[in-house]
Structure 1
Amino acid sequence: MQKPLKILVLEDVQDDVGLIERELRKGGLTFETTRVDSKQGFIEALRQYEADIILSDHSLPQFNSFEALKLCRRSGVRIPFILVTGSVSEEFAVTCLKEGADDYVLKSNLIRLPNAIVNSLKQKELENERKKSDEAIREQNEELVKINRELDSFVYSVSHNLRAPLMSVLGLLNLARLQEGKEEMNQYFQMMEQSIQKLDNTLKEILDYSRNARKDVDVQQVDIRDIVNDSIKRLLYMEGSEKITKTIDIIEQSPLYSDAYRLLVIFNNLLSNSIKYRDPQKEENFIHFYITIEKQLLTIRVQDNGIGIPSHFLPKVFNMFYRATERSEGAGLGLYIVRETVQKLGGKVDVHSEYGIGTTFEIEIPNKLPGDINV
């Protein structure tokens, strides 16, 4: 063993502890022991000693090994527990094992104790490895179920969202061929342009989704103001953009290290959402970006006074292909992509909204400063 084995001994007779230690040394074990002889002492040792194994006598004043074992399991301690006691019946030994003891050794046969300890530790290690393997398999299965579910939904929705604009363009072209007036032609061309833009937006969302799912996180020092301004410029000519006042407040306490592309995707989708769902009944439409950069954390709050989201829709707004309003003309991927992108960066996103008042998105993303980068 690379380091001394830490053994917690529950025993009220010091001489018996000496006999145990002598047999363990004869068995070639390197160890250190801590002895307790009361319930309170045992509880404190469980919290503070960080033992590798517990050796317990069965009967102590006002306390016994069964109670000790239950205390172990309730406190979450999962180290081997071996009963070291006087002569017992076969029925008692079976009961000990049923209660959860890993082994039992008679004090009259301590020569068996070193092997019992080594075997129990190996068995516990194998059990822990199996649990880790089972957990990994469970997580992989959950991920596969998620991927398959989203893929089915993705194929259905994308096929619909790609074909509908194409069929619309095809129909408009056929109508345009039958028209001779210039005014009617321009109207049809405008409608075709809108359909093509819808198709283009859907394709962009598919590309963002695919890149986020498959591309590794690329951490570099980034200028968050440049990213927000870039997003605003990209959507400058989106319908309704000119009617929204956009403000940026940045508190920069530290340089920011993150993935510039993914941050741009987040801002593009949130800004596009605010523009799309602005409230034309209000005198002024606005979107505020509140950004704080700390040594460990990037905090983003995007607030608008748009139409808002009814409370019963809020739990679903980050779902793939979900549309919370009839005004939605996209594929329903925007907020899903925001959540997936934030999670890819190791962060979390939340939304607060009141119908008719506005919506606020709150995002927290780790700041991957040099030395902390782990991607």
Structure 2
Amino acid sequence: MNTTLRILILEDVQDDVILIEHALKKDGIQFELMQVDSQETFINALSEFDPDVILSDHSLPQFNSMEALKICRKQGLDIPFILVTGTMSEEFAVRCLKEGADDYVLKLNPARLSSAIVNSIKQKKIDSERKEAEKALHQQNKELVKINEELDKFVYSVSHNLRAPLTSVLGLVNIGRMEDSKKDDSFQPLFDMMEKSIRKLDATLKEILDYSRNARSDINIERVDLAVIFRTCLESLEFIEGYEHVRKEISIHNDEIAFYSDSHRLGVIFDDLISNAIRYRDISKKQPSLVIEAEIAADAVHILFRDNGIGISEELTPRIFEMFFRATEKSEGAGLGLYIVKEMTKKLNGIIQVTSVPGQGTEFHLEIPNAYPVEKQTNFNRQIW
């Protein structure tokens, strides 16, 4: 110990005090000692002497170590309290440690006193640092809760205060287009560009909302009807340029097996993969196509999205799931779509893989665990489109 310790000793036998002093000096402990032998002097010393360590005999004529320990803890003093006593049963020693004593040393073995003091001080320091870390963590958690609440408000604002006006503006654009059609249609190209920009902004806002909700909301497990989700996705994408030019074929196998997952997240995943197949179709081909094959099993559903679009180069394929990454100049989005697909798939404990050949097309392989697997399987195929 490089510092001088203030040691308060509760002891009424002077010879024992001398014995303790000798043991500490022998081990090179630098200390300043104050001896007390009553409750009153002990209480006064706690405030006036401000000890670093307390050594206490167990039994004094009108006072004992357990009473002294309770006084220390009642005053909020978290300093090492070590019993130094003549005899002590193992049972009583355990009870003292449970009451809050840091250690005990028998007067017959004073050689262990120095190490007991040093170890108790080190342990108190560790405990103090741990409590400070827990306090800091608690404060960080409070700040994080506050940030999350503010983020909730932001998401609500994006959803209601931004997307709603866009819908109104789009309605006004359509009214303007109808009025212009009664004349010479001279402003139709401008209306088309306005609508395209509005839908692009709305799609970006939707991606932000999808990302936030996926990260912050729990999974909602329910029985899933894949056919309904696919049909809803196609209906929502009818306005996309080129939708009518892409032949879409969707089939589901073994759909009598109950499949349980999160319908909303699956809808977002399907929506993005289908819209990408439409947006990045190969217009040089006679018949752009998208084939979706889903096979439901007791443990998982396996879905293949296969298109004959422009494809993705080999060196870019590993990066398509990165945030804000766009694999082609034709991309007009914010680069969040496939990133969100990956994150939602992970949220569902699923796996998504991609293979692509430029000029030939792209395949996405999706595997989503069945959250409520059934034991018996039968083969049954259903063609939807």
Structure 1 counterpart of 2:359: 356
CA distance in 2 between partners of 1:273 and 1:364 (Å): 19
Structure 2 counterpart of 1:222: 224
Rg bigger for which structure? Answer: 2
Runs of 4+ in 1 over 6 A off after TM superposition: none
Secondary structure at 2:187 match in 1 = helix
Structure 1 counterpart of 2:268: 265
Q: In the alignment, is residue 331 of structure 1 matched against residue 334 of structure 2?
A: yes
CA distance in 2 between partners of 1:370 and 1:216 (Å): 20
Residue pairs, 1:71-110, within 5 angstroms: none
How many angstroms does 1:254 deviate by?
Answer: 2.0
Residue type at the aligned position of 2:303: I
CA distance in 1 between partners of 2:199 and 2:184 (Å): 22
String of CA shifts for 1:44-100, please: whole Å, max 9, x gaps: xxxxxxxxxxxxxxxxxxxxxxxxxxxxxxxxxxxxxxxxxxxxxxxxxxxxxxxxx
* Greater Cα offset, 182-191 or 339-348: 182-191
How many angstroms does 1:290 deviate by?
Answer: 0.9
Structure 1 counterpart of 2:277: 274
Structure 2 counterpart of 1:322: 325
How many angstroms does 1:189 deviate by?
Answer: 2.1
How many angstroms does 1:233 deviate by?
Answer: 1.1
Residue pairs, 1:1-375, within 5 angstroms: 183-252=185-254, 254-369=257-372
How many angstroms does 1:186 deviate by?
Answer: 2.8
CA distance in 2 between partners of 1:297 and 1:350 (Å): 15
Q: Is the 8 A contact 2:324 2:334 kept in 1?
A: yes
How many angstroms does 1:331 deviate by?
Answer: 0.9
Change (3 A) 1:371 1:291: closer
String of CA shifts for 1:128-182, please: whole Å, max 9, x gaps: xxxxxxxxx9xxxxxx9xxxxxx9xxxxxx9xxx9xxx9xx9xxx9xx9xxxx96
CA distance in 1 between partners of 2:184 and 2:216 (Å): 47
Secondary structure at 2:257 match in 1 = coil
Identity %: 48
Secondary structure at 1:290 match in 2 = strand
CA distance in 2 between partners of 1:192 and 1:355 (Å): 32
Q: Is the 8 A contact 2:258 2:374 kept in 1?
A: no
String of CA shifts for 1:185-215, please: whole Å, max 9, x gaps: 3322221111111101111111111111111
CA distance in 1 between partners of 2:356 and 2:263 (Å): 27
String of CA shifts for 1:88-138, please: whole Å, max 9, x gaps: xxxxxxxxxxxxxxxxxxxxxxxxxxxxxxxxxxxxxxxxxxxxxxxxx9x
How many angstroms does 1:277 deviate by?
Answer: 0.1
CA distance in 2 between partners of 1:329 and 1:306 (Å): 17
Secondary structure at 1:360 match in 2 = strand
CA distance in 2 between partners of 1:311 and 1:211 (Å): 32
How many angstroms does 1:371 deviate by?
Answer: 9.4
CA distance in 1 between partners of 2:278 and 2:292 (Å): 14
- In structure 2, runs of 5+ residues without a counterpart are 1-136, 138-143, 145-150, 152-157, 177-182, 376-385
Secondary structure at 1:320 match in 2 = coil
Secondary structure at 1:319 match in 2 = coil
Secondary structure at 2:252 match in 1 = strand
Change (3 A) 1:371 1:254: closer
